[in-house]
Amino acid sequence: MQRVFSRVVTCGLLASCWLCASQQRALADTPNQLFVERAYHDLLGRVPDETGLSGYANALDQNTLTTAQVAGSITSSPEFHGIETRQQYEALLHRDPDSLSLNGWVNALGAGETVEQLQSNLAGSPEYYTNRAGGTDSGFVTTVYSDLLGRSTSPTERAFALAELSGGESRSNFAAGILSATEYDQRLVNGYYPRFLHRPADPTGLSVFTNQLQSGARDEQVMSELVGTTEYYNLRLLAGDTNFDQSVNFTDLLALAQNYGQKGAHWFDGDFNNDGLVNFSDLLLLAQNYGRSASIATVSETSLVTVPEPFAAPALLGIAAFSVRRKRSDSSARRDCTSPRPADTTTNPPELSWRTAISGG
């Protein structure tokens, strides 16, 4: 193990010296590129492909798109609607959607239907009633309140719900009623703020966005507005945080190790000082913040203020390189994730077929 560390550290230092001496410097990430990278991560859960990164960043540079419009373009994409569909199937039916249902809902969401319509359809399905609610109205009321509002019912609510269902109200319509309530929209907004701005919703923001949803705004519109805010654009980046999760840990170290020595690099590759290279300077920044979260970090995200413990950076790189060596097939595949994902190719199936497909498991 000591020999592995020694070789890695020596190679790392030599590579760092060579790269620093190189006169061919790649362009650093601009603030607009960093915004696009973070928006892709927060909305699509992946790094941007080069076409998307350059296209959106150039549009922002030329003022042909605003940050909210970039976010809106992402949230209106088939890829994002596919993510929404998978999330709701997992949340409500505890399974992945079959391909017919997935493509049907991706098309429907793209044509103007809402996530709430998807949710009410799933919650009203025989599959949900049988597998999640135990096949009883009482079980349905308990489960749907827990799934959609994250709480149990009051005695008054339960009595009212059971009376409605026994009186002929469909389970889909009952779920739709919950989804149209102010409480549900407040829960959405209270979830969006930590997700995108990494803080609780302030009273004004909660009120404004809840009122928008109550007035008919789509969920995607509110998400796009939050991602398009100046606050989101100016969010502090913690050096070492390659995946924008507000903490620096072993996942980030592996990402840097996989891209060590790379030119033309981006923040998510490990280029934390925006010089277009992943080298020892970036490793020092990561080592300085290793184990920290954005809420407690005090060092500048892009400046090397102090030197870590003498062997901290080499040891971290050694550990990461050792792990990468054991997972070489995974690390070689990482760069492939920057290529564009294929869009969902669908034709609009007959409405009845894919809407009723959920009952078939």
Summarised one tens digit per residue, pLDDT across range 20-40 is: 433 333 445 889 999 999 999
Query: At residue 124, does pLDDT exceed 50?
Result: yes
**The pLDDT of residue 183:** 98
CA–CA dist 357, 361 (Å, integer) = 7
**Which carries the bigger pLDDT value, residue 255 or residue 305?**
255
Query: At residue 360, does pLDDT exceed 60?
Result: no
Query: At residue 169, does pLDDT exceed 80?
Result: yes
Cβ count within 10 A of residue 357:
19
Instruction: Provide mean pLDDT across the span 230-258.
Output: 88
Beta pairing partners, 247: 293
Which one of 10-14, 289-293, 354-358 scores highest in mean pLDDT?
289-293
How high is the mean pLDDT of the chain? 81
Q: Which CATH class for the 237-326 domain?
A: mainly alpha
**The pLDDT of residue 125:** 98
The pair phi, psi for residue 263, each rounded to 5°, is -95, 160
**Which carries the bigger pLDDT value, residue 302 or residue 109?**
109
Beta pairing partners, 243: none
CA–CA dist 94, 89 (Å, integer) = 6
CA–CA dist 48, 42 (Å, integer) = 11
**The pLDDT of residue 321:** 58
Question: What residue segments make up the domains of the chain, in order of their start?
Answer: 237-326
Torsion of CA 161, 166, 167, 173, to 10 degrees: 50
